[in-house]
Amino acid sequence: MKICGIVGSPNKQGNVDLLVSQVLEGAKSRGAKIEKIYLNDLKIKPCQDCKKKPPPKYCFFEDDMGQIYTKLETCDAIVLGSPVYFDTVSAQVKLMIDRSNCLMPYTTLSDGSLGFLRRIKKKKKGIFVVVAGMDQEFDTILTTVKGFFNWANIELAETILYSHSDENYGGVKDDKSMMKKAFQAGVQLVNR
């Protein structure tokens, strides 16, 4: 089983990164091949809503988003992590999501009708890791991520919500129950 973690936080070794890593370690303990991508390290242009049809490619832009398309096509599971910024995903995650519009374009289908054409055929499992302060809402971010998961043919198996009141960088590592929960989510992802 191949599992890719996608970290949407700009903070390496911060709470999002640590929790995504724990999920991946749990999966690895059950024999999964794991890898992790930091969206902040990639050069991804924003969607230009070009209205062009690029198949067989996903997009006309030749940038690092190609790495994401490949992972969405080939992996068996995706672990996406994001902090809550203004009640939704980080800018890094939003760039990726916007460039995923081409994964299910609205077009003329084979029967002549108009509809959404699913281009990523491989079904995958997914876990969403979200980190926020105690007073932040999670509903809006979950709506955004569920939409992306649908477009990318990912079934949301579990959401790990970490709400905290401290300002300690990477403080989740001291929360043994949360770290265990993330590890067990990775184990269960392989066992499903």
Buried b (16+ CB within 10 A) or exposed e, 26-61: bbbeeebebeebbbeebebeebeeeeeeeeeebbeb
Q: What is the C-alpha separation between 99 and 162, in angstroms, rounded? A: 27
Reading the block at residue 130, the tokens are 């979200």
More confident residue, 22 or 53: 22
Average pLDDT estimate for 88-97: 96
CATH assignment at residue 31: 3.40.50.360
Q: Which of 133, 165, 170, 125 is nearest to 14 (CA)?
A: 170
| Res 94 pLDDT > 90 | yes
| Residue 186 pLDDT | 97
- pTM here is 0.94
Indicate the SS3 state at residue 160: strand
| Residue 165 pLDDT | 81
| Residue 48 pLDDT | 87
| Res 55 pLDDT > 80 | no
| Residue 152 pLDDT | 97
Total tally of structural domains belonging to the chain: 1
Average pLDDT estimate for 17-24: 98
| Residue 167 pLDDT | 78
The answer to whether 96 and 43 have CB atoms below 8 angstroms apart is no
| Res 126 pLDDT > 90 | yes
Model pLDDT for residues 130-156, shown as the tens digit of each residue: 999 888 888 889 999 999 999 999 999
Domain that holds residue 94: 2-191
